């Protein structure tokens, strides 16, 4: 029995890892060109040098025993590192990042698995026990006894509308907040002291010295995230205008000079506002299932946990 997984972000890969470890055959399909999802890493050329930006998830924490064990494995494999920073009370914080980029963890999870990149699933066809996936280019893959949909709630609702109205109904209840991100590079060090801070006013909700993370390039780089309300109000604005506005606000807040590179990226479904509250959905009638951060909360750990618990449940059946 082969299980198809639509979406090879943290949740889909976590489900796949768990199922594979139990001897199940799994195939993953992701519309992206490579591993990342919302833990993506963007490359850019700045003054002839390559720089990278974590423009989605910034760092993650590990609370549960299971996720802490996974993080330990990633640290030992060299695909994750601590992000040396202090919390507000001056204690070392337990923030982790992918190394040398946030997507390194997903790359290492995907490596031993059967993943098709650039495979955008547009419909689920067939029926219980004989599902096939129809892709945006018209091609298809099948026969799958089960399909796990591991994409943001809004996208899951569309994919599942006809195949499993029950699962789609819950996905439709979820609302994700957008986030405009800006990536900045400097050819000279700024005089900003902190590694990250949350501006008190203006469009920005979070700023991080991207280059302070382990293994990043020498050039000083920053990632700025706009607040959800500002991002929603400017959702359809041109990326160049958004980048200019966020840079301006950053300069007002910090006194930093002009960056030599700036680019904006829109995350339409960045963070779930209120999660479903159950770790996954499984429709026994159809053999379809969902996992992803929108079940438990807008965090890397929640995505991993959702996928892991769904994988464990399916491996038992």
Ligand X SMILES: Cc1cc2nc3c(=O)[nH]c(=O)nc-3n(C[C@H](O)[C@H](O)[C@H](O)COP(=O)(O)OP(=O)(O)OC[C@H]3O[C@@H](n4cnc5c(N)ncnc54)[C@H](O)[C@@H]3O)c2cc1C
Binding site residues, ligand X, CB under 6 A: 6-12, 29-32, 37-39, 56-60, 119-121, 150-152, 155, 179, 181, 225, 267, 270-271, 292-293, 298-300, 303
Per the CB < 8 A criterion, the answer to whether 101 and 57 are in contact is no
Per the CB < 8 A criterion, the answer to whether 181 and 37 are in contact is no
What is the DSSP code string of 53-78?
E--S---B---SHHHHHHHHHHHHHT
Minimal distance, residue 209 CB to ligand X, in Å: 14
Q: How far is CA 224 from the centre of its chain?
A: 16
Element (H, E) at 108: helix 104-110
Helical packing angle, 300-316 and 10-21, nearest 10°:
30
Task: Write phi, then psi, for 171 (nearest 5 degrees).
Answer: -65, -35
Q: Look at phi and psi of residue 18 and say left if phi exceeds 0, alpha if psi is from -120 to 50, else beta.
A: alpha
Minimal distance, residue 151 CB to ligand X, in Å: 4
Compare residues 179 and 188 and give the one whose CB is closer to ligand X: 179
Tokens for 82, please give them: 């601590």
Minimal distance, residue 230 CB to ligand X, in Å: 13
Compare residues 59 and 74 and give the one whose CB is closer to ligand X: 59
Minimal distance, residue 206 CB to ligand X, in Å: 8
Nearest residue to the partner ligand X, using Cβ:
9
Compare residues 260 and 297 and give the one whose CB is closer to ligand X: 297
| Cα(59)–Cα(53) distance, integer angstroms | 12
Compare residues 46 and 71 and give the one whose CB is closer to ligand X: 71
Compare residues 57 and 314 and give the one whose CB is closer to ligand X: 57
Locus of tokens 């800006």: 182
Minimal distance, residue 52 CB to ligand X, in Å: 16
Locus of tokens 């963007």: 42
Q: How far is CA 104 from the centre of its chain?
A: 12
Tokens for 81, please give them: 């590192």
Minimal distance, residue 144 CB to ligand X, in Å: 14
Compare residues 9 and 101 and give the one whose CB is closer to ligand X: 9
Closest CA to 64 of 278, 228, 305, 290: 305
Compare residues 56 and 101 and give the one whose CB is closer to ligand X: 56
Minimal distance, residue 118 CB to ligand X, in Å: 9
């Amino acid at each position: 029995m082969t299980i198809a997984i639509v979406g090879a972000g943290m949740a889909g890969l976590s489900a796949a890892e768990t199922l594979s470890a139990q001897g199940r055959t799994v195939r993953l399909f992701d519309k992206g060109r490579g591993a990342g999802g919302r833990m993506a890493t963007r490359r850019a050329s700045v003054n002839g040098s390559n720089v990278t930006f974590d423009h989605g998830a910034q760092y993650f924490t590990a609370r549960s025993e299971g996720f802490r064990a996974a993080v330990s494995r990633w640290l030992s494999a060299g695909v994750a590192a601590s992000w040396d920073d202090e919390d507000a009370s001056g204690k070392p914080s337990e923030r982790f990042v992918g190394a040398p980029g946030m997507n390194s963890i997903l790359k290492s999870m995907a490596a031993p698995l059967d993943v098709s990149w650039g495979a955008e699933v547009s419909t689920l066809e067939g029926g219980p026990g004989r599902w096939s996936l129809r892709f945006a280019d018209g091609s298809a893959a099948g026969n799958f006894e089960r399909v796990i949909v591991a994409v943001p709630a809004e996208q899951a609702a569309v994919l599942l509308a006809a195949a499993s109205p029950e699962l789609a109904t819950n996905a439709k209840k979820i609302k994700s907040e957008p986030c405009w991100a800006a990536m900045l590079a400097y050819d000279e060090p700024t005089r900003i002291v902190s590694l990250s801070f949350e501006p008190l006013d203006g469009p920005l909700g979070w700023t991080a010295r991207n280059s302070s993370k382990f293994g990043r390039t020498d050039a000083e780089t920053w990632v700025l995230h706009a607040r959800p309300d500002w991002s929603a109000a400017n959702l359809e604005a041109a990326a160049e205008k958004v980048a200019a506005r966020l840079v301006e606000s950053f300069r007002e807040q910090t006194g930093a000079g002009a960056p030599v590179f700036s680019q904006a990226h829109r995350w339409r479904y960045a963070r779930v506002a209120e999660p479903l509250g159950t770790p996954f959905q499984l429709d026994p009638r159809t053999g379809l299932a969902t996992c992803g951060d929108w079940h438990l909360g807008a965090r890397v750990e929640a995505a991993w946990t959702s996928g892991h618990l769904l994988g464990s449940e399916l491996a038992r059946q």
